[in-house]
Amino acid sequence: MVGVSFLAMAVQQVPYAPAVVDGSDGRVYLWIALGVGVLALVAALMLARAVIASDTGTPEMQAISNAIREGAEAFLRRQYKTIGAIAVVLAVVVFVGYKASPRTSPYALKTVVSFLVGAVCSGLAGFTGMYCSIRANIRTASAARTSLNKALQMALRGGAVTGLVVVALSLLGVGLLFLFFGGLEHPQAVPYQLVGFGFGASLVALFAQLGGGIYTKAADVGADLVGKVEAGIPEDDPRNPAVIADLVGDNVGDCAGRGADLFESTAAENVGAMILGAALYPVFGVKGILFPLIVHAINLIASIVGVFVVKTREDEDPMHALNKGFYVTSALALAGFAGAVYTMLNGPQVQPIWLLGCGVIGLVTAFLFVWITEYYTEAIYRPVKSIVEASVTGPATNIISGLAVGMETPAMPVVVISAALLLSYYFGVQGLAGVAGISDYAKGIYGTAIATMGMLSCAAYILAMDTFGPITDNAGGIIEMSNQPHEIRDRTDKLDSAGNTTKALTKGYAIGSASLAAFLLFSAYLEEIKTIVTDKVALAGGYMPVGWSFTNINLAQVPVFVGALLGAMLTYLFSSLAIKAVGRTAQMVVKDVRDQFKENPGIMLGTSKPDYARCVNIVTGAALKEMVVPGLLAVGLPVVVGLIFRHFSASYQASSALYAPGAILPVPAIGGVPVNLAGAEAVAGLLMVGTISGVLLAMLMNNGGGAWDNAKKFIETGQYGGKKSEAHKAAVVGDTVGDPFKDTAGPSLHVLIKLLATITLVLAPLFV
């Protein structure tokens, strides 16, 4: 989303004065957005204080919670040290690369500053969310001793800290950089100087999600295989040496990892939409640039209200209460979105009703993704039921059925994404139909950007629902391990079941937002290359032929086809490395648990405690080591492809370049200046096909893994023989296959999609 300069090329001289271009007017909107961001952080602090001030249960419960907290904080400290070292190296590379080009040299320092600020804010968002979640778990467990409603509200409000902090930091980070870089004085130029913010956020998000995902699923798989399948002991049994590592993993994967992930989504959307607004400055003025910040300010207010309306009864499914909060949040977000559109995106020839329609399309898309994900992962619907029935005949049929469900899941989401893109493109064209001097293509792309903002207008509440999942999972584990009465575990089981659904819904929501932006991101890269070529030709004394465009990439050309193959390969190889990392680390966990059972027979008898810390240390070290290679592959491959093909000869050049009449040059010429576009075109193929294959594969893994998990949990309610039955053993095997799908490779893939776009946009000058 960053580096979007294509609308600037599409917008010609607009024949009427902009609606509002006064800097003082922009100052008001900017300070409103920043003020709401600060208030959201204050609200998050108040929620955190209220949660932490709540009852912490019995000494036995506190001992377990303290072990989880210590393990999670130790892992995150070591993980962020590793990520920090990688970020510093990349910051130096970006600075040197920008300084090497006359076109980008003036922006080198600002790009690196925005990159580092984005990385720090992303890490802070993940750490803050986990800080509260590992303290909310025991408070939720304690509240469950008296009331399902109190436990539900405790878990959701603990999760809301993450949601509010993530969106507020994104809003404040982008808004303050815009202010300090002189955005009110030079509103059209400054948004382009924020390109590094999204890249920094993407980098941290990838490693946080990948490392946390490897940790959580390796511990989970190891604990299940030895505990449930081999030893026949219940989930979260205190005799299992891996159980604390498993509970730690819920926090570092689903809290810290997902927090950094959705921070990256909102940050990239903020920067990208501001750049689009800068390109349309003659139409909307500075208000068009600040529009995305106001949308996220509305998001924060609506989400706070949505969190506080959630309550449930003892006999009610907690999911109904969570959905009610989502509906309230969506309604308020829509009302605020409408007010922002009519106030800020107006003008003599603009029809705001069509632009509002784009935002409605985004909200409807979010609803549909939530519903589709719920359909494929909830036990009351056909897909999960089919896996449950297949479990009766053994692990093989369970896995076959689960894979079939996973392969089915991309169908409906792809139809929804396609419809959203087509409709929002059309609505964008209609909304700006009366504006002269702007191509229909630019108008349509702006419509898809508004739709993406609409989809993210409930992001804070969605993230609160996501963090609700690991908090309730931990709460159930604390209740089980501290031997609380059965009726308390029944309450936490209800919350845990709802939490599994909310985690699945958030993954679907995250991949949906990435998918909706995919076409915009690809178009952004193409037009960024066009801008670079235009500047280079002008610097060389050449001229740009009328109508020259870099919007047509010929798949029949060798560099493009090879780049496309490599893009598709990247998503599969990356997924393979992530899943193998889980497998290797899980093997270490299995070995340690078996060894502890053999070394200390008193563990199974309940007369002595296992060494939880030993298992936590094993998983921590292995997960941090395993995350480096797939992470560097994702960062390095597009750069390597662009630089290698940059030096290809004329015989490989695509037809988009125009040759100088009668000239024989080693590379194609544009306006009489030799320009080699093979590297840029190869990267375009990689980005396009890598995005498409990544979206489909992420959907398969997220929903397929979620369906396997809930099939197991459905059997554990007493159906088909219940726990310890043959169907349950088969379902556990299926769940362990699905675990790295839904919590490691799948979530990391939709971060990878956005990282590919941001890194290619930031480093685009190196490819021409």
Query: What are the pLDDT digits (tens) for 662-686?
Result: 433 345 666 666 777 888 888 888 9
Q: Give me the amino acid identity at 112.
A: V
Q: Residue 351: pLDDT above 80?
A: yes
Q: What pLDDT score does 300 carry?
A: 94
**Percent of the chain at pLDDT above 70?**
90
Residue 647's φ and ψ, nearest 5 degrees, are -100, 15
Estimate the crossing angle of helix 486-516 against helix 440-455, to 10 degrees. 170
CB atoms within 10 A of CB 418: 12
Estimate the crossing angle of helix 258-279 against helix 195-223, to 10 degrees. 160
Query: What tokens were used for 44?
Result: 């998050």
Of residues 213 and 647, which shows the higher confidence score? 213
d(CA 126, CA 210): 13
How does pLDDT run across 455-497, given as a tens digit for each residue?
A: 888 889 988 888 888 888 888 888 888 878 888 888 888 888 7
Q: Residue 646: pLDDT above 90?
A: no
What separation in angstroms does the CA of 184 have from each of 25, 31, 195, 363, 742? 10, 11, 18, 30, 43
Mean pLDDT of 357-361: 94
Coil, helix or strand at residue 547: coil
| Closest to 716 (Cα-Cα) out of 379, 238, 254 | 379
Q: Residue 649: pLDDT above 70?
A: no
| Closest to 636 (Cα-Cα) out of 162, 252, 86, 175 | 86
Instruction: Quickly tell me which residue has 């108040």 as its tokens.
Output: 46
d(CA 660, CA 639): 29
CB 689 within 8 A of CB 568: yes
Q: What pLDDT score does 99 carry?
A: 83
| Closest to 588 (Cα-Cα) out of 622, 625, 630 | 622
Q: Residue 750: pLDDT above 90?
A: no
pLDDT band at 657 (very low <50, low <70, confident <90, very high): very low
Coil, helix or strand at residue 674: strand
Non-local (6+) Cβ contacts of 114 within 8 A are 177, 193, 194, 195, 196, 197, 200
Average pLDDT, the chain: 82
CB 156 within 8 A of CB 310: yes
Q: Residue 146: pLDDT above 70?
A: yes
Beta-bridged to residue 438, according to DSSP, are 11
Beta-bridged to residue 674, according to DSSP, are 669
d(CA 182, CA 276): 18
How does pLDDT run across 298-344, given as a tens digit for each residue?
A: 999 999 999 999 998 888 888 889 989 999 999 999 999 999 999 98
22-31, 137-146, 244-253: which range is least confident on average?
22-31
25-34, 254-263, 423-432: which range is least confident on average?
254-263
Estimate the crossing angle of helix 195-223 against helix 148-180, to 10 degrees. 150
Q: What pLDDT score does 404 carry?
A: 94
Mean pLDDT of 598-604: 81
- Output the 3-class SS for 463-479: HHHHHHHHHHHHHHHHH
Q: Give me the amino acid identity at 422.
A: L
What separation in angstroms does the CA of 349 have from each of 188, 346, 496? 21, 8, 52
Strands 673-674 and 669-670: antiparallel
CB atoms within 10 A of CB 487: 9
Report long-range pairs for 633-637 (Cβ below 8 Å, ≥24 apart): 633/570, 633/573, 633/574, 633/577, 634/206, 634/570, 634/574, 634/752, 634/755, 634/756, 635/90, 635/203, 635/206, 635/755, 635/759, 637/566, 637/570, 637/686
Beta-bridged to residue 669, according to DSSP, are 674
Exposure string of 722-752, with b = 16+ CB inside 10 Å and e = fewer, is ebebebbbbbbbbbbbbbbbbbbbbbbbbbb
Coil, helix or strand at residue 318: helix
CB atoms within 10 A of CB 319: 20
CB 158 within 8 A of CB 50: no
Beta-bridged to residue 670, according to DSSP, are 673
How does pLDDT run across 203-212, given as a tens digit for each residue?
A: 888 888 788 8
Mean pLDDT of 54-76: 83
Coil, helix or strand at residue 663: coil
Q: Residue 501: pLDDT above 60?
A: yes
Of residues 137 and 539, which shows the higher confidence score? 137
Estimate the crossing angle of helix 486-516 against helix 459-481, to 10 degrees. 150
**H/E segment holding residue 670:** strand 669-670
Of residues 462 and 505, which shows the higher confidence score? 462
Non-local (6+) Cβ contacts of 180 within 8 A are none
pLDDT band at 520 (very low <50, low <70, confident <90, very high): low
Sign of the torsion formed by the C-alpha atoms of 384, 389, 394 and 397: negative
| Closest to 249 (Cα-Cα) out of 470, 462, 500 | 470
- Output the 3-class SS for 511-533: HHHHHHCHHHHHHHHHHHHHHHH
What separation in angstroms does the CA of 668 have from each of 525, 651, 659, 768? 21, 9, 5, 12
Cα Rg, the chain, nearest whole Å: 26
94-108, 135-149, 402-416: which range is least confident on average?
94-108
Coil, helix or strand at residue 409: coil
What separation in angstroms does the CA of 712 have from each of 228, 370, 403? 12, 21, 15
**Percent of the chain at pLDDT above 90?**
20
Global confidence as pTM: 0.83
Could you give the maximum distance between any two Cα atoms of the chain, in Å?
90
Instruction: Quickly tell me which residue has 């594969």 as its tokens.
Output: 697
